[in-house]
Structure 1
Amino acid sequence: MKNLHAFLSGCLVLFSVNAQAQAQLETGSQKPMPAQWIDKDTGHKVVRLTDKVSGNNASFYFHNNPFVKGAAGAGDKMVFYHTDAQGKQLYALNLKTLQAEPLTRHFAQVSGEIVAPKHRDVYYQTQDTVYATNIDTKKTRRVFVFPKDFKASITSLNADETQLGGAWSTDAEKEISKKYPEKSDYFNRIYESKLPRTLFTVNVQTAKLDKLFTDSAWLNHVQFSPTDPNLLMFCHEGPWHKVDRIWTINTKTKAVKLVHKRTMDMEIAGHEFFSPDGKTIWFDNQLPRGATFYLTGANLQTGQEKKYQMTRDEWSIHFTISPDQKLFAGDGGDAGQVAKAQNGTWIYLFHPEGDKFRSEKLVNMKAHGYKLEPNIHFSPDGKWLIFRANFEGSEQVYAVELAPAAKGSVGKAGK
């Protein structure tokens, strides 16, 4: 019996769950849902990853890597934010055991979704101070304090984990955001103000601040390349049909380059992200806005672009790419989004076929309120999609298995 138990334990894979008959339920049809269930519309298993953590829990923004590798057989870890009556703090979740543990104390205000997978640290900021906490030892160090004349926020870490990056904004811009907290109120005001912004880096060992580039444009969406430590991507924020949005800067030479120039009136390109190998920048591309929908990838060496077309209902707020770069995924959208989709509230898996996507529906999200963006991530082994949702009445983190739960179990909608 002992040997049998050891064998079965060794067979556990990502998301260690009890072998039991799964309930087939409409996702969000009851509050709470079970810890795991089969989406009756798609036939795919859904697991609530934050089942053991009370309060609200949020996975990272779609292009921010939350994962660190586990020790042999120990399970990879995912960093996420937890919020309860005491405040907000960072947690780490073991993706094999689903055990979660706090990494930091509670904060009244804290930001930063920055994991250093090589050094196994997580970087975050509270007020004007940047900290790093080791995911294994929980030891915390102060990395940097912003000077009084340069209050800014960190958003990214470079590939060799030596520099943090972000954008500084003026007090006048901060006042607009404070006075008009809703995006629909501040967005055009900030864009039209043409106030200066400055891109910067901070050396994580020496705390040296380097101001890279200043422009009278809303510089935003700052992301380091996952492979080139000197390549920083940023955007010209604003109404997408009015801006050539996607740019890069070499942090050594300060050379700035436009990645994609709009080709027609009302074209939009946005929600850009790097491929895992750092060779391509992918982005939502509409030609024109709200009419024809593509996920487009720009090769950073050649400038050549590859487009995959999708239907209006398949358009998603965010897209992502699998670790092996063979599949894509999207988090869908409701009728209030730019695509005006009538049946778009799904977590999608996309299979590239020629110049189009063949979509597979994984989770029915009709009970989810899309003001909370799901922000999908492929799991490190590429077998699950992780997302956040509120269809149980609170914000939690879930995973859906890409393979159908059982042969022949794919729901009608999932085909």
Structure 2
Amino acid sequence: MLFRYSARCVLGGLALLLLPAMALAEKKSPPQSWIDPDTGHRVIRVTDEPGSASLYFNINAYTPDGKQMIYTTADRGIGVIDLATFTAKPLVKGPVGGGPGAVVVGQKTPTVYYFKGLKGDAQYASLWSANIQTGEQKKIADLPRRAGIFSINADETLGVGSYIIGDGEDYNGRQAGQVAQQHTPDEPLDKKTKMARRLAARLPMVVFTVDLHTGQIKPVFASTDWIDHLQFSPTDSTLLMYAHQGEWQQVEKLWTIRTDGSQNKHINPRIMKMEGSGHQWWDHNGKNIWYDLHIPFGMISFVAGYNVENGDRTWFHYAPEESSIHFTRSVDGTLFAGDGSDAPGAKWLYLFHPELIKDDHSLGEHLIQPGRFQAERLVNMSKHNYHLEPNVNFTPDGKYVIFRSNMLGPTYVFAVEVHK
């Protein structure tokens, strides 16, 4: 009896000693993959590093051959993921960039373009490139004061960026050279107030291009509107899309322009009071610009498309419980996806099957083609804090939807299989 009691004590003591180590191991090793019990789709945790994240939804993260993907590391550097094996490796040590457009992969070569601040002077940054295959890094150009580069054109000859003239506060409440203050969870940032203040400030801005071979800077246009979300067409090297930033129903949102400043065109004029649109992106074939459209804001919602070649429009309706922060489309154009939101019942990642509504009787020219989404749930996002935007996008082969999430605590990059 004495031996049995001692053995129990020893085993109990060992268990107590092992519990912290087991808990630590469990904390460091979240699940690598699982089948979502609510959807039947397999979810894969792609990165091992807490704090790693995929790129903003409308920024190209994939090499031209579709085999590798760029992501940001915990130290605000750049890493590379092999899409065949989902293994990750570092490429550029951080910190780099200054926003969601700080890192972008070229459409023509396996090159990632990024900018980073100059040491000792936060007002200035320089544009760099890194070869994803060899790791070779090189400086392209020093940028104007308070400038950043946000998109690279199709033939990788130009980058486009913008800068604020003077010392007015930017969207984050920073003046030139200042570092954003940290806010605790008890002092949340009021995004609506920040956006309204920035819009009303009417700060003078310049949109410019930089020659990727010579480093030459050329202005495209100047404005006191808040210009943001600069995106080159993935196929037309001289065509640029940009947005007037602010509350969606308060601004004339989407525009296209040539890099020489010509053909400045507003592509979605408002047709109803309180109409709002935003979160736009280019189709992979460069023919359509897609965006989230609300007519009026918060009531009837569509994913709307505008054909830049002929002006045709297509609107796919989606239900309120399918509301998503961002939408995206597969490379072959057969599917859409959404990353869900805090709207009632909408904490899911969605796969959308688009369906055009046929009509052989309507008369008129240049009428909008109506359609609707048939929704399929991909991932239960009830444990995700939507202060972090998941930013969905399809892999080039269409097999996975990539997203970032804090559902396991820290932020990681995930992939969910499109087919069950």
Compute the TM-score of the two structures, normalised by the length of structure 2: 0.82
Alignment match of 1:254 (pick from 250, 259, 262): 262
SS at match of 1:333: coil
Which residue identity is paired with 2:147?
Answer: A
- 2:361 corresponds in structure 1 to none
For 1:14-413, what aligned pairs fall within 5 Å after superposition?
Answer: 33-51=30-48, 54-69=49-64, 76-83=67-74, 87-107=75-95, 112-127=102-117, 128-147=125-144, 150-174=145-169, 177-179=172-174, 182=189, 183-334=191-342, 341-354=343-356, 355-404=371-420
- After superposition, give the CA deviation of every residue in 1:239-288 in whole Å (9 maximum; x if it has no partner): 11011100011113532100100111100011111111111111100000
Q: What is the CA distance between 1:99 and its match in structure 2?
A: 2.0
- Is the CA contact 1:61–1:375 (under 8 Å) kept in the aligned structure 2? yes
CA distance in 2, matches of 1:241, 1:231: 26
CA distance in 2, matches of 1:69, 1:216: 36
- After superposition, give the CA deviation of every residue in 1:297-343 in whole Å (9 maximum; x if it has no partner): 01112222110001001121100000001111100101xxxxxx210
SS at match of 2:172: helix
- 1:15 corresponds in structure 2 to none
- Is the CA contact 2:96–2:114 (under 8 Å) kept in the aligned structure 1? no
Q: What is the CA distance between 1:109 and its match in structure 2?
A: 6.2
Task: Quickly say closer, same or farther: Cα 1:110–1:104, change in 2 above 3 A.
Answer: farther
- Is the CA contact 2:401–2:416 (under 8 Å) kept in the aligned structure 1? yes
- Is the CA contact 2:96–2:115 (under 8 Å) kept in the aligned structure 1? no
Q: CA RMSD in A?
A: 1.8
Q: What is the CA distance between 1:33 and its match in structure 2?
A: 4.1
Gaps of 5+ in 1: 1-29, 335-340, 405-415
- Is the CA contact 1:213–1:254 (under 8 Å) kept in the aligned structure 2? no
Q: How many residues align?
A: 358
Worse overlay, 350-359 or 297-306: 297-306
Worse overlay, 178-187 or 221-230: 178-187
Task: Quickly say closer, same or farther: Cα 1:281–1:206, change in 2 above 3 A.
Answer: same
Compute the TM-score of the two structures, normalised by the length of structure 1: 0.83
Which residue identity is paired with 2:253?
Answer: R
CA distance in 1, matches of 2:171, 2:63: 37
CA distance in 1, matches of 2:91, 2:107: 15
CA distance in 2, matches of 1:168, 1:110: 12
CA distance in 2, matches of 1:249, 1:320: 23
SS at match of 2:269: coil
CA distance in 2, matches of 1:132, 1:263: 43
CA distance in 2, matches of 1:361, 1:306: 23
Task: Quickly say closer, same or farther: Cα 1:134–1:31, change in 2 above 3 A.
Answer: closer
CA distance in 2, matches of 1:384, 1:330: 13
- Is the CA contact 2:341–2:347 (under 8 Å) kept in the aligned structure 1? yes
